[in-house]
Structure 1
Amino acid sequence: MTSTNPTPDEARQLLAMSAGAAGSLRAAGQNRHAQWLTGLATSTFMFYVGLSTIPDDGPALVLCGAYMASCLVLSVSLLRGVTVTKEGMGRRWIGAIRGWGIAYTVTLIVGLTWLRESVLFWLLASVVVTAPLAVGAWREGRA
């Protein structure tokens, strides 16, 4: 196989095609991971606010089902088929999910065990639990 150097016109055309391909690749990513983190933060916030206002277990279980359904819809619509990620996304993603998971577990255990009737606890917990997701989404969006 022999290689030839492109002429200046061919080089310009190849550079233009390269820039177009890079733009297409960036558009394919569309910050779906940041959108997913933002959606999960919103769903989690609303779930906790709902827990602060629902005194009975039956409606709380319906709220739980709606929360799980919203998480499923978010995951299927935003994460399925994503082939492009930004450099360092795994680090940002793991940090956000780990922080959310720890806060979520602790607040649910404490809230459901000892503070079920405390509206103030659930409202404060909603901010604490969504903060790691919001920070993660912000960091991913700026990356």
Structure 2
Amino acid sequence: MSAPDDLPVTSTLAELAALVERHRGLYVRWSKGPGPDLGETTSTDDLTGVPLPGLSANPLDVEEWWRGRSVELWVARRLYDHSHLPHDKGPGVRPWALRGREAGRGPDNEPLVADVEPMCWIAGPMIEEARPEVERQERRWGTPRRSGR
């Protein structure tokens, strides 16, 4: 599948939450975009170099245990949890939403997605919108990237 040249841009948490409410099977991927990704439609394990059977991505579907809480907070957390990736993976890496079929699990237990349909870019300022949503919570949580390892 070839990526569209001009994916729509989702600019607010409310827009992304509405997309999540309308569609099941959505994921967020942090990369240079569908163009480069869909040529390969596979990720590689960074540690071993082993090719994986799909693109590594993080699910956006709201879990049942969330029980009616804010979908905007849900997507804020999903973005916040991986907001370190542009720094770690280098220039040009940014989030985009996709639909697809889970083809397996990666070495960090992340879904590996095949039959990818790009949905939209997730605007960079949305990450900054997510941060205060997360920080307003009574309990604090950090991103999966932990210091001191």
TM over 0.5: no
User: Structure 2-normalised TM-score?
Assistant: 0.27
TM-score, normalized by length of structure 1?
0.28
Higher Rg = 1
Q: More helix per residue: 1 or 2?
A: 1
